Amino acid sequence: MTWITLLTTSTRWQAELMEQLLAAHDIPTRIVDLGVKSYLGTGTPAALQVPSQDKWTALLLLSPLEDEQET
């Protein structure tokens, strides 16, 4: 299975939050640590990955909502 990186974050908890959202929609995910675990609460950089066939669905779920145009 080929994995695609959707986003990188400065803290692991952000990636875990996105992982929970995608898991609620039955999209498999994995989190890859990008650095050394830090101390003093600064967080660890991480990447959120999904299988390549789920890339577009995951991107749509994680994208911000568009504002409605006023006419």
In the block, tokens 């999904």 appear at: 50
- Is the pLDDT score of 71 beyond 60? no
At residue 31 the predicted structure's pLDDT band, cuts being 50, 70 and 90, is very high
Report the distance separating Cα 4 and Cα 18, nearest Å: 15
Model pTM above 0.95: no
Report the distance separating Cα 71 and Cα 46, nearest Å: 42
Is residue 50 within 8 Å of 4, Cβ to Cβ?
A: yes
Q: What is the DSSP letter of 37?
A: P
Query: What Rg do the C-alpha atoms of the chain give, in angstroms?
Result: 14
Mean pLDDT over 9-24 rounds to 91
Q: Per residue in 35-63, pLDDT tens? A: 776 655 667 889 999 999 999 999 999 88
Q: What is the percent of the chain with per-residue pLDDT over 70, rounded to a whole number?
A: 85
